[in-house]
Structure 1
């Protein structure tokens, strides 16, 4: 039965067109953004997970940047330690020279004093961003990671370095370093009356300092290796998190492209169907001619 008051065919065609247009709009949005889940309404669970993972990845990136600062501190401290070893070796050489009876020990002492001043200068210069691991009596830490626990709480991971145990000095006052590994070295003072026994004692002091400096340099080298490994690990974790987020929210562009073409065809057919349904009422007029 045909009716001029209600055209069911046109209504059905219109509903189909609305449905196709809605799907087409969603697909066009997916293609333009590259995301199948761009907001919470698309998929609440995946959107929540991806948002949290993106936030954590950003925090991990900040931790990695902080790790770079830590690496710079380690490198600065190592450079100072390496230079200090060279200077202490020079002091050792001067003491060996002073063992010769014909050498003017007062002149040798002047050279040692200058080398001691150089050690203080090295300690003062070993500062990065206001932090000096070569002049301290405390331990230090470096941020090296960010993790989220099973209960949802977050934790900042740190790597600890016992800087106070390997520091050249504990303090520097009035341009003179004191305490630390080089404490005894800074007290070396030759006079013309210095005996060989006294020189041997100083040599023993220097050897002890060199041993401790070498241990400190080795500890800094190990710390540097730890930071490098953590930096590589953080990079891999970051890539894995990005890949995880991608699997949750990124669109399959080949699939979406095919769907877009299909929906555009369906839209054209729906428009034609609606046009045909609307024209059916006009054919009723021919019955009255």
Structure 2
């Protein structure tokens, strides 16, 4: 049945054409933006996830910038520390030369003085963005931090992780507080007035701290087993064991002490043998040098000129501490580089993850666009045919 008032074919054709036009607009939007989810209405779940991931990616970008700033600070401090180590090595060589009896200590001191001024200049100039990690109050502990990473945990909470470097008397070169506690301005006492010995008594080892100059892991034994030299000084009696001066007394005078008249691995301690004295005692006076800081070395000073060997030991001890501080800076620099590489890869992974959620497949969208354009043309043609039905009915009433 045909009706002039209700054209069902035209309605159907119009609905179909309307839907085709909507699909065509969606496809054209995806092609123009490159995204299949560009707003929450497209897919609320994917849009929400992608928005959060983009936010995290931007935070990681900020972390990378902070890492770059931190790396510059660390590299500046390391460069200063490395340069200072090289200068101290030169001072060490000058002191070695000064031990030659015929050396002109005044001229050598002139060279050392220039090196000391160079050290001060290096420390003062090793500053980046207003921070200098080579000088500060060495009597306190300060923590320098570098932003290391941005973390989102499984519950959605976010946090910033940092890389820390401690500034204290073990890492600061010059103490700005005036307490001379930095590696370059503190006095290194190269003497050692005590040593912990493991005393073997009846097969049981017991540790005792006794007077000594250098340290070794010793087993105290009696009699000739010491195989050392005996020295009687104003400070007391000493026995040298494997190069170690140990305060000692005759076994007959240590009655009542833990190791007196005991059986040891080498036999029984008897009168005339030497035993370790576990009571406090001072080391020989000749083993206690007067220390001077690297910045205070002055070979024109009679006292220091007579103890160049001790000054050399102090410089060597400072070099070990400086090398340790430089190693810490180097490890932080390496960690920053690794973290920077990781963040770059993580950022790329997040970008790919976001793309899988919201990016449009352009090949698929191209094929869909061609199909929808054909459908649109067919829909227009179908609507035109449906609308012409009324004209066909009119022809029935013509004479």
Q: TM-score scaled by structure 2?
A: 0.69
The question of 1:82 aligning with 2:82 is answered: yes
Which residue matches 1:168?
A: 173
Query: Higher strand share goes to which structure?
Result: 2
Which residue matches 2:392?
A: 283
* Structure 1 Cα separation of the partners of residues 304 and 388 of structure 2: 123
Which residue matches 1:198?
A: 307
Q: Which deviates more from structure 2 when the two are superposed, residues 32-41 or residues 223-232?
A: 223-232
Which residue matches 1:264?
A: 373
User: Which residues in structure 2 correspond to 1:65-214 (within 5 Å)?
Assistant: 65-136=65-136, 137=138, 138-164=142-168, 165-171=170-176, 178-183=180-185, 184-191=293-300, 193-194=302-303, 197-214=306-323
* Structure 1 Cα separation of the partners of residues 396 and 304 of structure 2: 137
Cα offset, 1:178, TM superposition: 4.4
1:135, 1:170 within 8 Å by CA — same for their partners in 2? yes
Q: Which deviates more from structure 2 when the two are superposed, residues 179-188 or residues 27-36?
A: 179-188
Cα offset, 1:107, TM superposition: 2.9
Aligned length: 286
Secondary structure in structure 2 of the residue aligned to 1:202: helix
Q: Which deviates more from structure 2 when the two are superposed, residues 102-111 or residues 61-70?
A: 102-111
Which residue matches 1:55?
A: 55
Q: TM-score scaled by structure 1?
A: 0.94
Greater CA radius of gyration, 1 or 2?
2
Task: Summarize deviations over 1:99-129 as a string: whole Å, max 9, x none.
Answer: 2333332332232222111111000111111
Greater relative contact order (CA < 8 Å, ≥ 6 in sequence): 1
* Structure 1 Cα separation of the partners of residues 52 and 31 of structure 2: 24
* Structure 1 Cα separation of the partners of residues 99 and 349 of structure 2: 64
Which residue matches 2:39?
A: 39
Secondary structure in structure 2 of the residue aligned to 1:38: coil
Segments of structure 1 that go 5 or more residues without pairing to the other structure are: none
Secondary structure in structure 2 of the residue aligned to 1:56: helix
Cα offset, 1:12, TM superposition: 1.1
* Structure 2 Cα separation of the partners of residues 108 and 172 of structure 1: 30
Cα offset, 1:225, TM superposition: 1.3
* Structure 1 Cα separation of the partners of residues 396 and 93 of structure 2: 124
Which residue matches 2:382?
A: 273
Q: Which deviates more from structure 2 when the two are superposed, residues 186-195 or residues 239-248?
A: 186-195
Change (3 A) 1:195 1:272: closer
The question of 1:247 aligning with 2:356 is answered: yes
Q: Which deviates more from structure 2 when the two are superposed, residues 79-88 or residues 35-44?
A: 79-88
2:152, 2:159 within 8 Å by CA — same for their partners in 1? yes
Segments of structure 2 that go 5 or more residues without pairing to the other structure are: 186-292
Change (3 A) 1:286 1:186: same
RMSD of aligned residue pairs (Cα, Å): 1.7
1:104, 1:192 within 8 Å by CA — same for their partners in 2? no
* Structure 2 Cα separation of the partners of residues 38 and 83 of structure 1: 55
Change (3 A) 1:83 1:195: closer
